[in-house]
Amino acid sequence: MGWVLVPSIIILSLWFSAIVHGEVPTTLDGPFKPVTVPLDQSFRGNAVDLPDTDPLVQRTVKGFHPEQISVSLSASHDSVWISWITGEFQIGDNIEPLDPETVASIVQYGRFGRSLSHQATGYSLVYSQLYPFEGLQNYTSGIIHHVRLTGLKPNTLYQYQCGDPSLSAMSDVHYFRTMPVSGPKSYPSRIAVVGDLGLTYNTTSTVNHMISNHPDLILLVGDVSYANLYLTNGTGADCYSCSFPDTPIHETYQPRWDYWGRYMQPLIASVPIMVIEGNHEIEEQAENQTFVAYSSRFAFPSHESGSSSTLYYSFNAGGVHFIMLGSYAPYDKSGDQYKWLERDLASFDREVTPWLVATWHAPWYSTYKAHYREAECMRVAMEDLLYNYGVDVVFNGHVHAYERSNRVYNYTLDPCGPVYITVGDGGNREKMAIAHADEPGNCPKPSSTPDEFMGGFCAFNFTSGPAAGKFCWDRQPDYSAFRESSFGHGILEVKNETHALWTWHRNQDLYDSAGDEIYIVREPQKCPPIKPKVHIALFSPSFHSCSQIVLELKCFHDQNENFHLYSFFYFAGGN
């Protein structure tokens, strides 16, 4: 009898599937019949903001001592950013910005249990939110500091203080743990994913549940403070356009950002948080400036990941490569974001980071009436590129409810498509999404779908499939596996190269229970990435000319399901 050599990754995958099968479903068991959990009528679906008198949002430091301290990741495990604010914000008619040069940006740090023997210096800034209309109050922030620590060891606990030692204005000692080194057997233990968080009493429940799950990393997929639900005088509303239809510009109340930073500090001063913009971060002001608070208050690994914008970037966390895309930055194929995405996808290595996770704010595959097919132009522009590179999971927010898809591509069930998960249920002040577009009378008109900040009109009636000739399905679509209206958050636990456990936790449940859970299973042998043509420009000094050689990669499966890859060069000319 002969021996058959089987790759160890296949053996491990089969063993792991056998262990979990029968306890927690896996995507290998799908596609699943669509499930809608009935609305719990006893659950409070409308949240109330924490007032500025709440002790959790009050300023507790004096002078130039640091507050609103947070940690965020750089592009790889050996570097993190520490951010904080010193000095008080100002709001009113006559405001004088603080001088960032008056306070140093210094972090003293060292490995846990040792002295704070290392020191790093960063930069500082002050931003303003200004309105060109009489009667609107302007705002200027405290001094915002960002310091990058480098040369860190992987999966190591560090302690740090931040501030200005020359002013005797240093923070208490805080702690953070670096990410594991990038590799196929190295992953963060628990990644919390939350969207549309805000600062309400439901937010506090979400954050308390999240803390109880002990995350190593937090992904916030847009809509942070909801400062833009307020006028500059501090008057708030659940719906800005409904309550303030005649305002000359969409005002914001920037102190809500400071309240949010103070409330979140006990968590994000120790657990890294990675944020991508949502529509509530647009915050228009004088001279058509947008996203100023968002871009100023957080540190982003944009430069480290080759991006020229805070609105899109990437980073590694162990064996996971995260792509953070901007729903509200140009995404057409000739634009900077698309070209950056092409470069980023072409450069990441599946041998080092087997998992590819993408996030952006506005979902492509949501079946709720709210924001239904609003991001269709982004999907049309980018879906093929993400599919061809084999994105495993996509996280979105925007819709204030929970939904998990079957694997899907171009509205069709596809075993190689990503699993799309909407977690816009963090607990913000706006109402929970309840109505579904496939229910009688709920299908919106196509003309209502475009968003002024998301480009043109791309959402038309379906031309094929069960919904052919219609704008909405007349039942829960096949690509929608599970949906429920509730506040909560999710936890992603990547176990190995092929298996990741996803659990969604509802606020009304006990801390250790899950409203939805599934093992997301990668099948790299079945679904290899389809990389596009690689263009190589060759320069010939002797002829003082450029010639272009195109390396074209093609793949196919033969009748025995064996995978073949071949390539060839051809001359494409040039001058």
Q: What is the pLDDT of residues 388-441, one digit of tens each?
A: 999 999 999 999 999 999 999 999 999 999 999 999 999 999 989 999 999 999
pLDDT given for residue 1 in this prediction: 37
pLDDT given for residue 364 in this prediction: 98
- Exposure of 33 by Cβ count < 10 A (0-12 exposed, 13-18 middle, 19+ buried)? exposed
For 47, other C-beta atoms within 10 Å of its C-beta total 25
Q: What is the pTM of this model?
A: 0.89
pLDDT given for residue 148 in this prediction: 98
Q: What is the pLDDT of residues 283-297, one digit of tens each?
A: 999 999 999 999 999
pLDDT, mean of residues 325-340: 96
Give the integer Cα–Cα distance in Å for 11 and 4. 12
Collect all residues with Cβ–Cβ distance below 8 Å to 537 and sequence separation of at least 6.
546, 547, 548, 549, 574
What does the mean pLDDT of the chain come to?
89
In the block, tokens 């790759």 appear at 7
pLDDT above 90 as % of the chain: 81
In the block, tokens 């790093």 appear at 120
pLDDT band, residue 45 (cuts 50/70/90): low
Lowest mean pLDDT among 170-184, 367-381, 510-524: 510-524
pLDDT given for residue 44 in this prediction: 61
- Exposure of 133 by Cβ count < 10 A (0-12 exposed, 13-18 middle, 19+ buried)? exposed
Q: What number of helices (H) and strands (E) belong to the chain?
A: 7, 31
pLDDT, mean of residues 154-175: 97
- Exposure of 213 by Cβ count < 10 A (0-12 exposed, 13-18 middle, 19+ buried)? middle
pLDDT given for residue 46 in this prediction: 65
Give the integer Cα–Cα distance in Å for 426 and 341. 28
Lowest mean pLDDT among 59-73, 254-268, 348-362, 524-538: 524-538
Beta strand extents in 172-248 (DSSP E only): 174-177, 191-194, 217-220
Element (H, E) at 266: helix 255-268
pLDDT given for residue 562 in this prediction: 42
Beta strand extents in 388-487 (DSSP E only): 393-396, 402-405, 408-409, 412-413, 419-423, 480-484
CB 221 within 8 A of CB 397: yes
CB 173 within 8 A of CB 161: yes
Give the integer Cα–Cα distance in Å for 376 and 29. 29
The answer, yes or no, to whether the previous bond of 541 is cis (omega within 30 of 0) is no
pLDDT given for residue 450 in this prediction: 81
> CA nearest 488: which of 423, 436, 431?
423
Position with higher pLDDT, 365 vs 512: 365
Instruction: Report whether pLDDT(96) > 60.
Output: yes
Beta strand extents in 299-352 (DSSP E only): 313-317, 320-324
Instruction: Report whether pLDDT(213) > 80.
Output: yes
**Tokens at 234, concatenated:** 């501090």
pLDDT given for residue 15 in this prediction: 38
Instruction: Report whether pLDDT(10) > 90.
Output: no
pLDDT band, residue 560 (cuts 50/70/90): very low
pLDDT given for residue 531 in this prediction: 66
For 87, other C-beta atoms within 10 Å of its C-beta total 22
pLDDT, mean of residues 66-71: 98
pLDDT given for residue 534 in this prediction: 46
As a whole number of Å, the end-to-end CA separation of the chain is: 62
pLDDT, mean of residues 98-127: 97
Looking at the DSSP assignment, which residues form a beta bridge with residue 554?
566
HSE at residue 19, side-chain half, CA atoms within 13 A, is 10
Strands 217-220 and 191-194: parallel
Instruction: Report whether pLDDT(543) > 90.
Output: no
Lowest mean pLDDT among 154-158, 246-250, 485-489: 246-250
pLDDT given for residue 453 in this prediction: 78
pLDDT, mean of residues 277-281: 97
Phi then psi dihedrals of residue 229, to 5 deg:
-95, 15
Q: What is the pLDDT of residues 448-504, one digit of tens each?
A: 888 777 777 899 999 999 999 999 999 999 999 999 999 999 999 999 999 999 999
Looking at residue 359, its amino acid is T
pLDDT, mean of residues 234-240: 92
Strands 169-170 and 138-140: unpaired
Instruction: Report whether pLDDT(325) > 70.
Output: yes
Active site residues: 371
